[in-house]
Amino acid sequence: MVIVVVTLVLGFLFGALFLIPQRFKSGHEKNARSNANEKASKIYAKSEVSLHNKRTDCWIIIKDKVYDVTSYVEEHPGGDAILAHAGDDSTEGFYGPQHATRVFDMIEDFYIGNLEKN
């Protein structure tokens, strides 16, 4: 289990190193932030998020926020490690000490809403 979490966290770190330059070149960042603002008020039940647990439909939860990382799965340097928590809470793995701080800004591009409070 520890190996999976470490692999997932390392994958996010290396992903940030490769994904951020691509976003600046393509102009995707501006569009993604605009989309995130439009979807900011959406609330998702955990049961709904759990349905998005595949390579072709991958959502994760980080600190009660929901992110659709489907478009990032194939670019993830850690390979399938990102799928270990697909449709579930990825907070612990995401906030590991091996992540550069820019990863925390990058994830906001994938933000689609908040997790419903129980």
What pLDDT is stored for residue 33 in this prediction? 52
Give the other-Cβ count within 10 Å of 69's Cβ: 23
Domains of the chain: 2-115 (3.10.120.10)
What pLDDT is stored for residue 83 in this prediction? 92
Could you list the beta-strand ranges (E) of the chain: 43-44, 53-54, 57-62, 65-68, 111-115
Q: How confident is the model over 53-82, as pLDDT tens digits?
A: 999 999 999 999 999 999 999 987 777 888
Give the other-Cβ count within 10 Å of 82's Cβ: 25
The dihedral through the CA atoms of 84, 8, 18, 109 has a sign that is positive
What pLDDT is stored for residue 30 in this prediction? 47
Q: How confident is the model over 33-50, as pLDDT tens digits?
A: 555 555 557 999 999 999
Q: For the chain, what is the mean pLDDT?
A: 78
* 87 phi, psi to nearest 5 deg: 80, 15
CA distance 80 to 63: 22
